Amino acid sequence: MAKKFRENIRNVAIIAHVDHGKTTLVDAMLHQAGVFRDNQHVAERVMDKLDLEREKGITILSKNTTIKWQDNLINILDTPGHADFGGQVQRVLRMVDGCLLLVDASEGPLPQTRYVLSNALELGLSPIVVINKIDRPDARIGEVLDEVLELFLDLDASEEQCHFPVVYTNAKIGTATMDLGTEGDNLMPLFRLIFDKVPPPEYDDEAPLQLQIVTLDYSDYVGRIGIGRIANGTIKQAEQVMLIKNDSTRSQAKVTQLYTYEGLSRVDAKSAWAGEIVAVAGLENMDIGDTVTSMLDPRPLPPLKIDEPTLEMVFGVNTSPFQGREGTFVTTRQIRDRLVQRNSGKSCSACGRLGDFGRLSRLRSW
Protein backbone atom coordinates (compact mmCIF):
# COMPACT_ATOMS: atom_id res chain seq x y z
CA MET A 1 0.00 0.00 0.00
CA ALA A 2 1.53 3.28 -1.14
CA LYS A 3 -0.17 6.24 0.48
CA LYS A 4 0.09 9.54 -1.37
CA PHE A 5 -1.52 12.97 -1.18
CA ARG A 6 -3.05 15.42 -3.66
CA GLU A 7 -1.20 18.43 -2.34
CA ASN A 8 -2.96 20.93 -4.62
CA ILE A 9 -6.51 20.04 -3.46
CA ARG A 10 -8.43 20.82 -0.29
CA ASN A 11 -11.95 19.50 0.34
CA VAL A 12 -13.72 21.48 3.03
CA ALA A 13 -17.29 21.85 4.33
CA ILE A 14 -18.81 24.92 5.94
CA ILE A 15 -20.85 24.40 9.10
CA ALA A 16 -23.01 27.14 10.59
CA HIS A 17 -26.33 27.88 12.20
CA VAL A 18 -29.01 29.45 10.02
CA ASP A 19 -28.24 33.09 9.12
CA HIS A 20 -24.71 33.14 10.53
CA GLY A 21 -23.37 34.09 7.10
CA LYS A 22 -21.81 31.00 5.54
CA THR A 23 -23.45 31.49 2.12
CA THR A 24 -22.40 35.14 2.15
CA LEU A 25 -18.84 34.07 2.96
CA VAL A 26 -18.82 31.64 0.03
CA ASP A 27 -20.04 34.49 -2.21
CA ALA A 28 -17.06 36.59 -1.17
CA MET A 29 -14.62 33.70 -1.66
CA LEU A 30 -15.96 33.11 -5.17
CA HIS A 31 -15.62 36.78 -6.09
CA GLN A 32 -12.09 37.14 -4.74
CA ALA A 33 -10.95 33.94 -6.41
CA GLY A 34 -11.95 35.39 -9.77
CA VAL A 35 -14.83 33.02 -10.50
CA PHE A 36 -16.93 35.91 -11.83
CA ARG A 37 -16.02 38.52 -14.40
CA ASP A 38 -15.61 42.09 -13.18
CA ASN A 39 -18.68 43.21 -15.13
CA GLN A 40 -20.76 40.09 -14.44
CA HIS A 41 -24.03 40.60 -12.60
CA VAL A 42 -24.25 38.08 -9.79
CA ALA A 43 -27.18 37.73 -7.41
CA GLU A 44 -26.50 37.76 -3.69
CA ARG A 45 -26.19 34.35 -2.01
CA VAL A 46 -25.45 32.58 -5.30
CA MET A 47 -25.24 29.22 -3.52
CA ASP A 48 -28.92 29.49 -2.54
CA LYS A 49 -30.52 28.27 -5.74
CA LEU A 50 -33.97 27.20 -4.54
CA ASP A 51 -36.72 29.81 -4.28
CA LEU A 52 -37.38 28.76 -0.68
CA GLU A 53 -33.69 29.16 0.19
CA ARG A 54 -33.66 32.69 -1.17
CA GLU A 55 -36.96 33.55 0.50
CA LYS A 56 -35.95 32.25 3.93
CA GLY A 57 -32.23 32.96 3.72
CA ILE A 58 -31.32 29.39 4.67
CA THR A 59 -29.48 26.47 3.09
CA ILE A 60 -31.71 23.46 2.45
CA LEU A 61 -29.79 21.46 -0.14
CA SER A 62 -26.07 20.85 0.07
CA LYS A 63 -24.10 22.24 -2.88
CA ASN A 64 -20.48 22.20 -3.85
CA THR A 65 -18.33 24.66 -5.69
CA THR A 66 -14.68 24.74 -6.69
CA ILE A 67 -12.40 27.72 -6.21
CA LYS A 68 -9.03 28.03 -7.94
CA TRP A 69 -6.52 29.80 -5.74
CA GLN A 70 -2.85 30.14 -6.70
CA ASP A 71 -2.94 27.06 -8.95
CA ASN A 72 -4.68 25.09 -6.20
CA LEU A 73 -8.25 23.84 -5.87
CA ILE A 74 -10.55 24.32 -2.91
CA ASN A 75 -13.73 22.26 -3.08
CA ILE A 76 -16.28 23.92 -0.81
CA LEU A 77 -19.40 22.09 0.31
CA ASP A 78 -22.17 24.27 1.70
CA THR A 79 -24.03 22.15 4.25
CA PRO A 80 -27.59 22.64 5.53
CA GLY A 81 -27.75 24.17 8.98
CA HIS A 82 -30.79 22.23 10.15
CA ALA A 83 -30.98 18.86 11.90
CA ASP A 84 -33.97 17.90 9.74
CA PHE A 85 -31.51 17.38 6.88
CA GLY A 86 -29.17 15.27 9.00
CA GLY A 87 -28.83 12.50 6.43
CA GLN A 88 -27.58 14.96 3.85
CA VAL A 89 -25.13 16.49 6.32
CA GLN A 90 -23.67 13.11 7.24
CA ARG A 91 -23.15 12.13 3.61
CA VAL A 92 -21.57 15.42 2.59
CA LEU A 93 -19.09 15.38 5.47
CA ARG A 94 -17.70 12.10 4.16
CA MET A 95 -16.40 13.90 1.07
CA VAL A 96 -14.21 16.38 2.95
CA ASP A 97 -10.99 16.37 4.98
CA GLY A 98 -11.75 19.42 7.09
CA CYS A 99 -14.41 21.99 7.85
CA LEU A 100 -14.98 25.62 8.69
CA LEU A 101 -17.13 26.19 11.77
CA LEU A 102 -18.72 29.59 11.16
CA VAL A 103 -20.06 31.33 14.27
CA ASP A 104 -21.78 34.69 14.64
CA ALA A 105 -19.66 37.07 16.73
CA SER A 106 -22.72 38.07 18.74
CA GLU A 107 -25.01 35.03 18.88
CA GLY A 108 -22.32 32.40 19.35
CA PRO A 109 -22.84 28.68 18.67
CA LEU A 110 -26.52 27.72 18.51
CA PRO A 111 -28.36 24.33 18.47
CA GLN A 112 -28.01 23.60 14.76
CA THR A 113 -24.29 24.39 14.99
CA ARG A 114 -24.08 21.76 17.70
CA TYR A 115 -25.77 19.05 15.65
CA VAL A 116 -23.69 19.39 12.49
CA LEU A 117 -20.46 19.91 14.45
CA SER A 118 -21.06 16.70 16.40
CA ASN A 119 -21.16 14.79 13.11
CA ALA A 120 -17.92 16.41 11.94
CA LEU A 121 -16.11 15.61 15.20
CA GLU A 122 -17.28 12.00 15.12
CA LEU A 123 -15.73 11.66 11.65
CA GLY A 124 -12.43 12.95 13.02
CA LEU A 125 -12.48 16.29 11.21
CA SER A 126 -10.52 19.13 12.83
CA PRO A 127 -12.50 22.35 12.30
CA ILE A 128 -11.20 25.83 11.64
CA VAL A 129 -13.28 28.27 13.70
CA VAL A 130 -14.43 31.33 11.76
CA ILE A 131 -15.83 34.14 13.89
CA ASN A 132 -18.02 36.09 11.46
CA LYS A 133 -19.75 39.46 11.62
CA ILE A 134 -17.01 40.98 13.76
CA ASP A 135 -18.29 44.42 12.73
CA ARG A 136 -21.49 44.01 14.73
CA PRO A 137 -21.81 46.62 17.49
CA ASP A 138 -22.95 43.90 19.91
CA ALA A 139 -20.08 41.54 19.04
CA ARG A 140 -18.66 39.66 22.05
CA ILE A 141 -15.81 37.80 20.42
CA GLY A 142 -13.99 36.66 23.55
CA GLU A 143 -17.12 35.20 25.12
CA VAL A 144 -18.12 33.51 21.88
CA LEU A 145 -14.71 31.81 21.63
CA ASP A 146 -15.14 30.51 25.18
CA GLU A 147 -18.58 29.18 24.25
CA VAL A 148 -17.14 27.44 21.19
CA LEU A 149 -14.49 25.74 23.33
CA GLU A 150 -17.15 24.67 25.83
CA LEU A 151 -19.16 23.20 22.95
CA PHE A 152 -16.14 21.22 21.74
CA LEU A 153 -15.56 19.85 25.23
CA ASP A 154 -19.24 19.02 25.64
CA LEU A 155 -19.13 17.05 22.39
CA ASP A 156 -16.10 15.04 23.58
CA ALA A 157 -13.77 16.53 21.01
CA SER A 158 -10.20 15.26 21.03
CA GLU A 159 -7.33 17.35 22.32
CA GLU A 160 -6.21 18.05 18.77
CA GLN A 161 -9.72 19.17 17.76
CA CYS A 162 -9.92 21.49 20.77
CA HIS A 163 -6.75 23.31 19.67
CA PHE A 164 -8.59 24.82 16.73
CA PRO A 165 -7.20 27.73 14.68
CA VAL A 166 -9.31 30.89 14.63
CA VAL A 167 -9.85 33.47 11.89
CA TYR A 168 -12.04 36.58 12.16
CA THR A 169 -14.14 37.62 9.18
CA ASN A 170 -16.59 40.16 7.91
CA ALA A 171 -18.17 38.13 5.11
CA LYS A 172 -20.37 41.00 3.97
CA ILE A 173 -17.40 43.06 2.80
CA GLY A 174 -15.11 40.07 2.21
CA THR A 175 -12.31 40.53 4.75
CA ALA A 176 -10.48 38.22 7.13
CA THR A 177 -7.77 38.66 9.73
CA MET A 178 -5.85 36.44 12.11
CA ASP A 179 -5.43 39.28 14.61
CA LEU A 180 -8.28 41.48 15.81
CA GLY A 181 -5.78 44.31 16.20
CA THR A 182 -5.14 44.27 12.45
CA GLU A 183 -7.93 45.12 10.05
CA GLY A 184 -8.31 42.68 7.15
CA ASP A 185 -8.15 43.74 3.50
CA ASN A 186 -9.38 40.55 1.81
CA LEU A 187 -9.92 36.84 2.41
CA MET A 188 -6.34 35.75 1.72
CA PRO A 189 -5.74 34.86 5.42
CA LEU A 190 -8.68 32.44 5.22
CA PHE A 191 -7.43 30.84 1.99
CA ARG A 192 -3.95 30.39 3.47
CA LEU A 193 -5.36 28.92 6.68
CA ILE A 194 -7.39 26.36 4.72
CA PHE A 195 -4.27 25.14 2.94
CA ASP A 196 -2.18 25.17 6.09
CA LYS A 197 -4.63 23.37 8.38
CA VAL A 198 -6.87 21.16 6.22
CA PRO A 199 -5.04 17.98 5.17
CA PRO A 200 -4.85 17.14 1.47
CA PRO A 201 -6.79 14.14 0.12
CA GLU A 202 -5.04 10.85 0.81
CA TYR A 203 -5.16 7.93 -1.59
CA ASP A 204 -3.56 4.56 -2.25
CA ASP A 205 -1.41 4.73 -5.34
CA GLU A 206 -1.78 0.97 -5.92
CA ALA A 207 -5.56 0.72 -5.47
CA PRO A 208 -8.04 0.58 -8.37
CA LEU A 209 -10.82 3.07 -9.01
CA GLN A 210 -13.12 3.56 -6.00
CA LEU A 211 -15.84 6.20 -6.12
CA GLN A 212 -18.76 6.19 -3.70
CA ILE A 213 -22.00 7.88 -4.73
CA VAL A 214 -22.87 10.33 -1.96
CA THR A 215 -25.67 12.36 -3.50
CA LEU A 216 -27.85 12.25 -6.61
CA ASP A 217 -29.01 14.74 -9.18
CA TYR A 218 -30.99 14.46 -12.40
CA SER A 219 -30.75 15.88 -15.89
CA ASP A 220 -33.37 15.68 -18.62
CA TYR A 221 -30.51 15.09 -21.08
CA VAL A 222 -28.32 12.45 -19.41
CA GLY A 223 -30.65 11.05 -16.73
CA ARG A 224 -29.52 10.19 -13.23
CA ILE A 225 -26.28 11.81 -12.07
CA GLY A 226 -24.23 10.51 -9.16
CA ILE A 227 -21.91 12.82 -7.21
CA GLY A 228 -19.05 11.73 -5.02
CA ARG A 229 -15.36 11.97 -4.23
CA ILE A 230 -12.88 9.62 -5.86
CA ALA A 231 -11.23 7.70 -3.02
CA ASN A 232 -8.63 5.93 -5.19
CA GLY A 233 -7.68 5.50 -8.81
CA THR A 234 -8.74 7.29 -11.95
CA ILE A 235 -12.07 7.48 -13.76
CA LYS A 236 -12.44 8.26 -17.44
CA GLN A 237 -15.30 9.23 -19.69
CA ALA A 238 -16.68 6.28 -21.73
CA GLU A 239 -14.95 3.84 -19.36
CA GLN A 240 -16.53 0.50 -18.52
CA VAL A 241 -16.88 0.20 -14.74
CA MET A 242 -18.38 -2.06 -12.12
CA LEU A 243 -21.28 -0.77 -10.03
CA ILE A 244 -21.48 -2.48 -6.63
CA LYS A 245 -24.74 -1.71 -4.85
CA ASN A 246 -25.50 -1.58 -1.14
CA ASP A 247 -26.87 -5.12 -1.22
CA SER A 248 -23.57 -6.33 -2.81
CA THR A 249 -25.12 -7.00 -6.22
CA ARG A 250 -22.85 -6.11 -9.13
CA SER A 251 -23.49 -4.87 -12.63
CA GLN A 252 -21.42 -3.54 -15.49
CA ALA A 253 -21.98 0.03 -16.63
CA LYS A 254 -20.46 2.71 -18.83
CA VAL A 255 -19.62 6.24 -17.75
CA THR A 256 -21.35 8.18 -20.52
CA GLN A 257 -20.64 11.60 -19.00
CA LEU A 258 -18.01 12.74 -16.51
CA TYR A 259 -18.11 16.18 -14.91
CA THR A 260 -15.83 18.14 -12.62
CA TYR A 261 -16.56 21.53 -11.06
CA GLU A 262 -15.37 25.02 -11.90
CA GLY A 263 -16.90 27.68 -9.73
CA LEU A 264 -20.63 26.97 -9.60
CA SER A 265 -20.72 25.07 -12.89
CA ARG A 266 -20.24 21.48 -13.93
CA VAL A 267 -17.85 21.08 -16.83
CA ASP A 268 -17.18 18.08 -19.05
CA ALA A 269 -14.03 16.17 -18.21
CA LYS A 270 -12.17 13.37 -19.97
CA SER A 271 -10.75 12.00 -16.73
CA ALA A 272 -10.44 12.70 -13.02
CA TRP A 273 -8.13 11.46 -10.26
CA ALA A 274 -8.24 10.54 -6.58
CA GLY A 275 -9.26 13.37 -4.27
CA GLU A 276 -11.48 15.13 -6.79
CA ILE A 277 -15.24 15.57 -6.43
CA VAL A 278 -16.96 14.51 -9.64
CA ALA A 279 -20.36 13.82 -11.13
CA VAL A 280 -20.99 10.78 -13.34
CA ALA A 281 -23.86 9.80 -15.63
CA GLY A 282 -24.76 6.63 -17.46
CA LEU A 283 -25.12 4.37 -14.42
CA GLU A 284 -28.91 4.36 -14.43
CA ASN A 285 -29.35 2.04 -11.44
CA MET A 286 -26.92 3.78 -9.11
CA ASP A 287 -28.10 4.79 -5.66
CA ILE A 288 -26.59 6.63 -2.73
CA GLY A 289 -23.89 4.52 -1.11
CA ASP A 290 -23.10 2.47 -4.23
CA THR A 291 -19.46 2.07 -5.25
CA VAL A 292 -18.20 2.71 -8.77
CA THR A 293 -15.05 0.66 -9.15
CA SER A 294 -12.73 -1.08 -11.58
CA MET A 295 -13.97 -3.91 -13.77
CA LEU A 296 -10.66 -5.78 -13.42
CA ASP A 297 -10.24 -5.35 -9.67
CA PRO A 298 -13.60 -4.44 -8.10
CA ARG A 299 -13.33 -3.30 -4.49
CA PRO A 300 -16.45 -1.92 -2.75
CA LEU A 301 -16.23 0.84 -0.16
CA PRO A 302 -18.01 0.48 3.22
CA PRO A 303 -21.73 1.36 2.97
CA LEU A 304 -22.94 4.71 4.21
CA LYS A 305 -24.78 4.89 7.50
CA ILE A 306 -27.09 7.86 7.91
CA ASP A 307 -30.00 8.84 10.13
CA GLU A 308 -33.53 7.91 9.18
CA PRO A 309 -35.52 10.67 7.44
CA THR A 310 -37.63 12.92 9.64
CA LEU A 311 -40.48 13.20 7.17
CA GLU A 312 -42.39 10.57 5.22
CA MET A 313 -45.15 11.17 2.68
CA VAL A 314 -47.79 8.79 1.41
CA PHE A 315 -49.54 9.72 -1.85
CA GLY A 316 -53.00 8.30 -2.37
CA VAL A 317 -56.36 8.94 -3.92
CA ASN A 318 -58.90 11.23 -2.33
CA THR A 319 -61.03 9.27 0.15
CA SER A 320 -62.96 12.23 1.50
CA PRO A 321 -66.74 12.72 1.01
CA PHE A 322 -65.92 15.06 -1.88
CA GLN A 323 -63.99 12.47 -3.87
CA GLY A 324 -64.60 12.52 -7.62
CA ARG A 325 -66.28 15.93 -7.61
CA GLU A 326 -63.21 17.84 -8.80
CA GLY A 327 -60.36 17.05 -11.12
CA THR A 328 -59.97 14.72 -14.07
CA PHE A 329 -57.20 12.27 -13.15
CA VAL A 330 -58.10 10.72 -9.82
CA THR A 331 -57.22 7.02 -10.01
CA THR A 332 -54.20 5.45 -8.32
CA ARG A 333 -52.61 4.53 -11.64
CA GLN A 334 -52.75 8.11 -12.86
CA ILE A 335 -51.37 9.47 -9.60
CA ARG A 336 -48.49 7.02 -9.82
CA ASP A 337 -47.79 7.91 -13.45
CA ARG A 338 -47.75 11.61 -12.58
CA LEU A 339 -45.23 11.08 -9.78
CA VAL A 340 -43.00 8.98 -12.00
CA GLN A 341 -43.19 11.46 -14.88
CA ARG A 342 -42.28 14.41 -12.69
CA ASN A 343 -39.53 12.78 -10.69
CA SER A 344 -38.29 9.96 -12.89
CA GLY A 345 -34.83 8.88 -11.86
CA LYS A 346 -34.61 11.25 -8.94
CA SER A 347 -34.11 10.66 -5.28
CA CYS A 348 -34.83 13.06 -2.47
CA SER A 349 -31.95 15.54 -2.30
CA ALA A 350 -33.08 16.88 1.07
CA CYS A 351 -33.30 13.68 3.08
CA GLY A 352 -30.84 11.69 0.99
CA ARG A 353 -32.89 8.51 1.01
CA LEU A 354 -32.90 6.52 -2.17
CA GLY A 355 -36.18 6.65 -3.93
CA ASP A 356 -38.06 8.56 -1.22
CA PHE A 357 -38.93 10.92 -4.04
CA GLY A 358 -39.62 9.16 -7.25
CA ARG A 359 -38.03 5.72 -7.57
CA LEU A 360 -40.31 3.22 -9.24
CA SER A 361 -39.43 0.44 -6.84
CA ARG A 362 -40.42 2.53 -3.86
CA LEU A 363 -43.74 3.85 -5.17
CA ARG A 364 -46.34 1.83 -3.40
CA SER A 365 -48.96 -0.17 -5.27
CA TRP A 366 -52.30 0.89 -3.89
Report d(CA 345, CA 284) in Å as an integer: 8
Give the residue among 12, 18, 31, 7 at the shortest CA–CA distance from 229. Answer: 12
Instruction: Give the pLDDT confidence of 244-258 residue by residue, as tens digits.
Output: 998 899 999 999 999
Percentages helix, strand, coil for the chain (3-state, rounded to 5) are: 25, 30, 50
Task: Return the SS3 of 237.
Answer: coil
Report d(CA 346, CA 72) in Å as an integer: 33
Q: According to the model, what pLDDT value does residue 292 have? A: 96
Q: According to the model, what pLDDT value does residue 151 have? A: 95
Which residues lie below 8 Å from residue 256, measured CB to CB, with a gap of 6+?
A: 222, 237, 238, 281, 282
Q: What is the mean pLDDT of each run of 10 residues along the chain (366 residues)?
A: 87 87 87 64 46 46 77 86 58 90 93 85 94 95 96 94 96 94 93 95 94 87 91 95 93 94 88 94 89 95 74 71 67 68 48 38 39
Q: According to the model, what pLDDT value does residue 31 have? A: 85
Report d(CA 132, CA 105) in Å as an integer: 6
Q: According to the model, what pLDDT value does residue 215 have? A: 86
Q: How far is CA 79 from CA 74, 122, 133, 231, in A?
A: 15, 16, 19, 21
Beta bridge partners of 20: none
Are 291 and 297 within 8 A, CB to CB? no
Beta bridge partners of 178: none
Give the residue among 19, 94, 34, 20 at the shortest CA–CA distance from 64. Answer: 94
Q: How far is CA 217 from CA 55, 62, 137, 299, 346, in A?
A: 23, 11, 42, 24, 7
Give the residue among 170, 99, 155 at the shortest CA–CA distance from 129. Answer: 99
Report d(CA 55, CA 230) in Å as an integer: 35
Report d(CA 201, CA 115) in Å as an integer: 25
Are 188 and 176 within 8 A, CB to CB? yes
Q: According to the model, what pLDDT value does residue 87 have? A: 58
Global pTM?
Answer: 0.78
What is the C-alpha end-to-end distance of the chain, expressed in Å?
A: 52
Spell out the domains of the chain, with CATH numbers in brackets.
3-202 (3.40.50.300), 207-293 (2.40.30.10), 308-366 (no CATH)
Q: Are strands 257-262 and 277-281 parallel, antiparallel or unpaired?
A: antiparallel
Report d(CA 24, CA 59) in Å as an integer: 11
Q: According to the model, what pLDDT value does residue 100 have? A: 94
